[in-house]
Amino acid sequence: MKVSSWWVSLAWLGLLAIFTWSSMVQGCGPGPGYGFRHRSRKLTPMPYKTYFPKLSENNLGASGRSEGKITRNSERFNELVCNYNPDIIFKDEEKTLADRFMTKRCKDCLNKLAIAVMNHWPGTRLRVTEAWDEDGHHPPDSLHYEGRAVDITTSDRVLDKYGMLAQLAVEAGFDFVYYESKHHVHCSVKADHSVAVEKGGCFPAWARVSVAGGGQKTLASLEPGDRVLALSESGHVVLSRVLLLLHQDHESRSTFLVLTTQDGHRLALTPHHLVFLAPHYKLHHSEYQARFASRAKRGDYVLVHGADGRLQPSRIVSVSQEEGVGVYAPLTEHGTLFVDGVLASSYALLEDHRLAHWAFGPLRLLLSVIQLVWGEGTQGAQVTEAEREHTETPPSHCNTHQKSLRVWGNQNLSSPGVYVNTNTSDRQSHWTSVPRNRDIEGGNCDAVPDKVLRVHWYARLLHRLGQICLDPETFHP
């Protein structure tokens, strides 16, 4: 019977490997992503004075609200990166290289658009007339002050091309595109910390989970192999093994929703993460639905792990916002976990917990096979005094199995394409046309590092497939 089960597991693993590698091989479209190509369709120029989406720029469904000006002396200046792409012409009329400063998401979308422009009009390049503004030339709530907006044209400045340029900007992933002037197209993006596509849904670094033995760990110190309190499908509170961290970023700034309950529990999580809610007092766990945290409101009920160890409802008395540094998203065997005593899902972005748990089934199987090959080790299998000592401080080491999961889980995969620039590791060898060591009035363009997004490749792959196969209404707006 064990032999048969072993071969079934190997068969599933083989199918997963074939599916994963085939999807990666097909990912030859332009841009930083990978996976299946978007369905080809005929592009039509955007009419003058129209914008996409049909929302105001500061609406949460577009680029979102302004978060305040970024100056060279502010701490948030370190969040900006420099764009040295030789396929983009930067006007830089201020002669300070300010137009090259932008957020990571804005840079990614701009580089993708530069590729699309060259493919659509051979011999033509993208031109940026305005990006980050430090001189106060825009309205007070302008996203230019945060490096989240750009004004663009084509290098040949042919006005008839700007309608199509705007449509190409939409396809490149800008969150708001406005053909606002006959002389340029305005584009902007969401704040890096609120981008659901790249960042996923997460909890803050200071959030705590209960581990085997009755101790607690912060999410910043949580490791694959740890066992945390979770809820099984049958409604029992169980210890569930942490398989990996779907998202782990020690430095990212995020805005969290804080749900405070009548008995003092406080759950902080990103708006697009799933939490189990009920509109009225319900005793049975099956009556609580996984909803986006952004839908939670005063008077709703959540499930908490009571002092007596039992599952019990608790009413939400306030919903507030709180900013913090560090974001983490543990994936457990059961797909649930208690964070600061409140039951939440391991999943985000898609408002269907069961579908998300099913979709991660192949990954759980693969990790089980890896565990079978490497061996689980002692950590997580039994509670020791050493484990209790590590519940308050980040561990300085891990066993071989955990190391393999961490390295394997954070690989940065990319795929070939037409006119694709490598804009990270080999930037200096390819983008030497711009001075590299020039200090700019208190800020050095080269001193602003690119951020490494630590989102698991499987989560990004599922999101790409979901965008192709599922109704867009099922995703967080």
Binding residues for Ca(2+): 93-94, 99, 129-130, 133, 135
Q: Amino acid letter at 438?
A: R
* Binding residue ranges: 93-94, 99, 129-130, 133, 135, 144, 151, 186
Taking the C-alpha atoms of residue 473 and residue 227, their distance in angstroms, rounded to an integer, is: 34
Distances (CA, A) of 424 to 252, 260, 356, 412: 18, 41, 32, 11
Query: Which residues participate in the annotated binding site for Zn(2+)?
Result: 144, 151, 186
Q: What is the 3-state secondary structure (H, E, C) of the chain?
A: CHHHHHHHHHHHHHHHHHHHHHHHHCCCCCCCCCCCCCCCCCCCCCCCCCEECCCCCCCCCCCCCCCCCCCCCCHHHHHCEECCCCCEEECCCCCCCHHHEECHHHHHHHHHHHHHHHHHCCCCCEEEEECCCCCCCCCCCCHHHHCCEEEEEECCCCHHHHHHHHHHHHHHCCCEEEEEECCEEEEECCCHHHCHHHHCCCEECCCEEEECCCCEEEHHHCCCCCEEEEECCCCCEEEEEEEEEEEEEEEEEEEEEEEEECCCCEEEECCCEEEEEECCCCCCHHHCEEEEHHHCCCCCEEEEECCCCCEEEEEEEEEEEEEEEEEEEEEECCCEEEECCEEEEEEECECCHHHHHHHCHHHHHHHHHHHHHHCCCCECCECCHHHHHCCCCCCCCCCHHHHHHHHHHCCCCCCCCCCCCCCCCCHHHHCCCCCCCCEECCEEHHHCCCCCCCECHHHHHHHHHHHHHCCHHHECC
Measured CA to CA, the distance from residue 342 to residue 219 in angstroms comes to 14
CA distances from 10 to 3, 359, 361 (A): 11, 18, 14
